[in-house]
Structure 1
Amino acid sequence: MATLKEISQRTGYSPATISRILTGDPALAVSDEARKRVLEEAGKLNYAATKSRRGRAPKHLLRLAVAEMLTPAEQLQDPFYLYLHDHVEQACVEQKYAFLPLERGETGFSLPEGDCGAAVAIGRFTPGQVASLERITPRLVFLNSSPDESRFDSVVLNYDLGIRLAVDYLLSLGHRRLGFIGPAWRLDDRREPAPEVRRASFIAQMERHGLYDPRFLIDTPMEARPTAEAVTAFLAAGGPLPTAFLTANEETALGAVRALSSAGLSIPCDISLLSFNDTPLSQLVVPPLTSISTHVEEMARAAVRLAGERVPTPGPVPARGLPVKLVVPPSLVVRESTGAPRPEAW
């Protein structure tokens, strides 16, 4: 697993600077290129395959097109999608598939040259974008969304299970005042506004236990810097505090770490923090984040595998015709950012 020291050796940045980059320190002037380098080196240290294997030129068994919801610059603000991209590319290397990035225009996607056997679409797309992808190839696999499970393969996460695991774990530690940090609304699988699924699931879980308190909800975009600002404002308001926060994703957790630490609050002694996604960044924060692992590597591999199953090949086994929706169960990874509440908080 990646460590701050290893990333420091690879990038030349000090461990303290890397920590400030990850938590979105507004006082640190850092370029997108610097942040990208830190994120990518963290990912590389967790890949099973080596760079030398990446450099080979295999005989490609399939030309696999890849469409992405976020631009490279946007992925720096939500590294979950950066790591999905990298793991899809690595899975293509393992399967000896050609990785063909699609170009995104104002009305949809296009393949720069040649054709492809199938496509993996990473993220959420409008109906118009989906139609443009279907014109490139009808063999589509959607990764982290499912716009039409009757027609297309998809690999999605069981968010409800992840939130239940998080809430049940915090309750088992003795917490009763739980808060949630993240947006109230987000785009759904068709990129239309809808209640954010993790927050909605958190509210439902807390209501089920009779412990829901709307005062402990912090509405913020899923990015580190605005989250730090929102948490700072919440603390400055002087209201009652929860004993633990669950965050919508890793970036909100990183922002919360910065705000809580700046306010002189200790994690987990004063407030426990539980994150969602568990990319390599969760291990680099101080303290390392207890997190709901979304298994991004397995999600990516599954999407590439489903794409390969739809392509006709020589041999007795026919290509799969029926679309499949694969729901990946998340799991809890316990680290140092969570603990029992102070005795007076019970």
Structure 2
Amino acid sequence: MANDAGVRRSSMREVARAAGVSVSTVANVLSRPAIVAPETRRRVEQAIRHMGYVRHGPARQLRGLPSPIVGSVILDLANPFFAELNRGIEDRLAEAGCLVLACSTDLQPAKERQVLDLLEEQAVRGVIIAPIGPDPAVLLEMSRRGTPVVLVDRPRDGLDLCAVGVDDVLGGRLAAEHLLSLGHRRIVYLGGTFETGTVIRRREGVRQAMRAAGLDPDDLLIDLRLPIHPPPLVEAAAAGVQQILAERPLPTAVLCLNDTAALGVLHGLGVAGVKVPQDISVVGYDNLAFAAGLAPALTTVNQPKYQLGRAAADLLLDEARPDHAHREIRFRPSLVIRASTAPPRRA
């Protein structure tokens, strides 16, 4: 068979003849290598390399075999949290012989819908998505039409889909309880003018912690929402420091929606001559790789980013099983205390 450039492709039948096996054995080596005896698999793989055999994707799908391509639809690949999450997806699916097509939606609903339509048109094996909004209608319809969908970084909430997430309410509560235990009472929660469910749930965790301590979050919690999307997030958070410093009485702590925003806050406070944690404590969320190397090192809430991605990929692969049942995997966050938090100077 020749491709569009006129170069002849080796066929699966020719590979089988060269390896001295059946065509079905070659197909198994390509699609289900674990069921083929090691010596036979080695002989077939050697023949594939020697003959330069390349699988033909459209023909594969015409034979009813699933596509090896999986769509990973996330908010922002430039965000280190999603980059590490996507690495977990990619590594796990590579083990299963799949290729990940990673797409950023940049918190734009129209772009998310366009990406999903294109992936479905390409008959991908499935989609792993960190959805922008709460409306799951498009995703449910996609699943009903035969394209498996797995939610990541979002709870299942009773949907007929698989989901992997972290208990964000607990994460917000852990961060707030730490600040309250140090004596902080007037706290800024730094969120955004456009927020995903993860950020909203973290805020609720903060409010829960304050109420449990006998405090009224409506009086003491400063809910500051910045235009932090689309990126750059660091610059927007740094600029937002002026709003924090304009509050009276001055807050003694800032709890940021993620570590990237906390990085911007630390920079903005430094430019303003405000010392951390002596004047204001700062807490992040995610425990990104750079958090421990900041000056001061950042107190933050740890999420198992890589494990989130691998778990989502596992659920997607499990969709192919005839006995598959939709389920949810939820991880617990943990608090990592570093040098950016301390008791406030004022009572």
Scaled by the length of structure 1, what TM-score is found?
0.67
2:200 corresponds in structure 1 to: 196
2:214 corresponds in structure 1 to: 210
Which structure's CA Rg is the greater one?
Answer: 2
Go from structure 1 to structure 2 and tell me whether the alpha carbon gap of 1:80 and 1:271 turns closer, same or farther (over 3 Å shift).
Answer: same
Residue 294 of structure 1 pairs with residue 294 of structure 2: no
Residue aligned with 2:307, SS: helix
Distance 1:112 1:106 in 2: 10
2:338 corresponds in structure 1 to: 335
Instruction: Map Cα deviations across residues 75-116 of structure 1 (whole Å, 9 max, x no partner).
Output: 33x432233222211222344433244796638333488744
Distance 1:320 1:281 in 2: 42
Go from structure 1 to structure 2 and tell me whether the alpha carbon gap of 1:139 and 1:112 turns closer, same or farther (over 3 Å shift).
Answer: closer
Amino acid at match of 2:202: R
Residue aligned with 2:72, SS: strand
Amino acid at match of 1:63: P
What's the offset of the Cα at 1:139?
2.5
Amino acid at match of 1:65: V
Scaled by the length of structure 2, what TM-score is found?
0.67
2:84 corresponds in structure 1 to: 83
Residue 97 of structure 1 pairs with residue 75 of structure 2: no
Amino acid at match of 2:278: C
Distance 1:280 1:243 in 2: 26
Distance 2:132 2:225 in 1: 22
Amino acid at match of 1:246: L
Q: Quick one: higher RCO (CA 8 Å, sep 6+), 1 or 2? A: 1
Unaligned runs of 5+ in 2: 1-54, 56-65, 104-110
Distance 1:110 1:132 in 2: 15
What's the offset of the Cα at 1:187?
4.2
Instruction: Judge conservation of contact 1:248–1:275 (CA < 8 Å) in 2.
Output: yes
What's the offset of the Cα at 1:302?
0.8
2:168 corresponds in structure 1 to: 159
Instruction: Map Cα deviations across residues 183-207 of structure 1 (whole Å, 9 max, x no partner).
Output: 3662449xxxxx9222233223213
1:66 corresponds in structure 2 to: 71
Instruction: Judge conservation of contact 2:84–2:305 (CA < 8 Å) in 1.
Output: yes
The 5-angstrom pairing of residues 1-346 of structure 1 reads 63-70=68-75, 74-76=76-78, 78-101=79-102, 106=114, 108-111=116-119, 115-124=123-132, 127=136, 129-130=138-139, 133-134=142-143, 137-146=146-155, 149-183=158-192, 186-188=195-197, 196-211=200-215, 212=217, 213-214=219-220, 216-222=222-228, 223-235=233-245, 237=246, 239-312=248-321, 319-342=322-345, 345-346=346-347
Residue aligned with 1:66, SS: strand
What's the offset of the Cα at 1:296?
0.6
- Seq. identity, %: 27
Distance 2:164 2:73 in 1: 15
Instruction: Judge conservation of contact 2:67–2:124 (CA < 8 Å) in 1.
Output: yes
Residue aligned with 1:145, SS: coil
Distance 2:261 2:201 in 1: 15
Go from structure 1 to structure 2 and tell me whether the alpha carbon gap of 1:335 and 1:163 turns closer, same or farther (over 3 Å shift).
Answer: same
Distance 1:104 1:176 in 2: 39
Amino acid at match of 2:238: A
What's the offset of the Cα at 1:172?
2.5
Instruction: Judge conservation of contact 1:277–1:292 (CA < 8 Å) in 2.
Output: yes
C-alpha RMSD of the superposition: 3.2
Amino acid at match of 2:139: V
Distance 2:91 2:115 in 1: 29
Distance 1:216 1:238 in 2: 9
Instruction: Judge conservation of contact 2:189–2:224 (CA < 8 Å) in 1.
Output: yes
Query: Which stretch has the larger CA shift, 297-306 or 139-148?
Result: 139-148
What's the offset of the Cα at 1:286?
2.0
What's the offset of the Cα at 1:248?
1.1
Instruction: Judge conservation of contact 1:149–1:324 (CA < 8 Å) in 2.
Output: no
Amino acid at match of 1:75: L
Distance 1:160 1:64 in 2: 34
Amino acid at match of 1:199: R
Go from structure 1 to structure 2 and tell me whether the alpha carbon gap of 1:302 and 1:64 turns closer, same or farther (over 3 Å shift).
Answer: farther
Distance 2:277 2:67 in 1: 48
Instruction: Judge conservation of contact 2:167–2:331 (CA < 8 Å) in 1.
Output: yes
